[in-house]
Amino acid sequence: MIYQKLSKRQILTLTWWNRDRFLDMDGIICDGAIRSGKTMSMSVGFLLWSMSKFDNQVFAMCGNTIASLRRNVITHLPVWVEGIFEIEEHTKENMLVISNGKSTNTYYLFGGKDEGSYKLIQGMTLAGVFFDEVVLMPKSFVDQAVARCSVDGSKYWFNCNPDGPGHWFYTEWIKGDQPKKKHVIYLHFTMADNFSLSPKIKKRYESMYSGVFYSRYILGLWVKAEGLVYPMFSRDRHVVHKPVEYKPRCRYYVSIDYGTVNPFAAGLYEYNPAEKRATMVRELYYRGGSANRVDNEAYYSMLVQMIGETPIEYIIIDPSASSFIETIQKYGQYMVVKANNDVVDGIQDVTKFMNSGVLFFHESCTATFDEFETYSWDEKAKEDAVIKEHDHSMDQLRYFCRTALRSELKWVV
């Protein structure tokens, strides 16, 4: 691989273990902006260190899931260390065997979130661990992996993008003089550390995020989620006024947040593959409550009325709405898909789609606009959480984005 010039921090991440000043340090943490070269420099540094200091030892490489570790790290390694090491991948065993002619070591792949990874790592004796995106992993898994490093000279390597200031990894490893207490080097990266990013691409990343995610992923700060969840929503920028008509080259979806006491919110979405653009074209927003409570049959007729003749791919619905899922399935008219209900991940999707000119709303979706203008982060919560009010249409929008729109756009990040 042809490396662009490396930044000072990238060079330090690659070589700290071989410098007199740092010889007795137990590890390194790199946090900061996305795309700043943390993963690249750390994974290569980890291999350089482990291969030159050890032979016949076992190491762990961890990601949020094994799939994301493969995508972000493992698939790039052959290019990143081309001509330096021989990498043999044992896919079934989730393991790499790496050699340089003189030494050979084994690297097991783990997903902090994957069931089974915790159990597997429990019994191991490790000479070092690499954690990519450590804030996404449960503390119990990370603690366990660190505790398995019992070989002389073993070290831990952590990298992550920031989360909130109450996050366990921040308070235990980064805040104040924690790095000193834990005996690790702490480096803070910015996008300026990646010399391979063109100004155009840098701008594109910067324009994708706003609010708390801009502060975290672009500025690299550990800040709290405060204020409006979607401060970027604009009635000028995101609302379309053209009449709604069926277009045969578009694909259609319905997304539902079910409620009986709370409002029942649903949206009909049009996805235009040629323009890579989605629009919420119709809104169904029924305020139930004790006075106006209706049954599932009534909801079903409202749904049928909203859909009309539009052929839809499937209906996305919150997984907890089992009675209504049964009602839809009883009629056998539409296919049902249970929504991915990860709140913060879904909010990030909606944010990116709205910022990058992919997601729009027809002017008739007025209850959704009202929610956009009130839906807020819960500032009292310890971790990222939203105030669970005015969130019904916001939920169905999240379901649509995380379940249907991501797969239409083939977004994997």
Ligand X SMILES: Nc1ncnc2c1ncn2[C@@H]1O[C@H](COP(=O)(O)OP(=O)(O)O)[C@@H](O)[C@H]1O
- The residues binding ligand X (CB under 6 A) are 3-4, 6, 10, 34-40, 194-196
Between residues 39 and 64, which has the closer beta carbon with respect to Mg ion? 39
Residue 86, both tokens: 């021989």
Within 8 A by CB and 6+ apart from 387, the residues are 375, 376, 377, 378
Between residues 10 and 376, which has the closer beta carbon with respect to ligand X? 10
In which residue are the tokens 């249409």 written?
393
Name the binder of 3 from ligand X, Mg ion, none, CB < 5-8 A by kind: ligand X
| The 155-160 sheet, strands edge to edge | 86-90, 95-99, 104-111, 58-63, 128-132, 155-160, 27-32, 184-189
Between residues 33 and 321, which has the closer beta carbon with respect to Mg ion? 33
Q: Which residues pair with 61 in a beta bridge?
A: 109, 130
Name the binder of 314 from Mg ion, ligand X, none, CB < 5-8 A by kind: none
**Residue 5: CB minimum distance to ligand X, A:** 7
| Region of 34-42, 99-107, 114-122, 375-383 interacting with Mg ion (CB under 5 A) | 34-42
**Residue 363: CB minimum distance to ligand X, A:** 38
**Residue 233: CB minimum distance to Mg ion, A:** 29
**Residue 370: CB minimum distance to ligand X, A:** 36
Name the binder of 6 from Mg ion, ligand X, none, CB < 5-8 A by kind: ligand X
**Residue 156: CB minimum distance to ligand X, A:** 17
Window 102-141: residues binding Mg ion (CB under 5 A): none
**Residue 220: CB minimum distance to ligand X, A:** 9
Between residues 148 and 216, which has the closer beta carbon with respect to ligand X? 216
**Residue 16: CB minimum distance to Mg ion, A:** 18
Query: What one-letter code names the amino acid at 168?
Result: W
Name the binder of 194 from Mg ion, ligand X, none, CB < 5-8 A by kind: ligand X
Q: Which residues pair with 267 in a beta bridge?
A: 255, 283
Name the binder of 348 from ligand X, Mg ion, none, CB < 5-8 A by kind: none
Query: What one-letter code names the amino acid at 346?
Result: G
Please state, in angstroms and rounded to a whole number, the distance separating the CA atoms of residues 225 and 168: 16
Between residues 39 and 210, which has the closer beta carbon with respect to Mg ion? 39
Applying CB under 5 A, among 39, 94, 376, 403 the residue interacting with Mg ion is 39
How many Å separate Cα 232 from the centre of its chain? 20
Name the binder of 195 from Mg ion, ligand X, none, CB < 5-8 A by kind: ligand X
SS (H, E, C) 95-151: EEEEECCCCEEEEEEEECCCCCHHHHHHCCCECEEEEECHHHCCHHHHHHHHHCECC
* Residue 68 binds to Mg ion (criterion: CB under 5 A): no
Residues contacting Mg ion: total by CB under 5 A = 1
**Residue 18: CB minimum distance to ligand X, A:** 19
Between residues 35 and 282, which has the closer beta carbon with respect to ligand X? 35
Which residues make up the interface to Mg ion (CB under 5 A)? 39
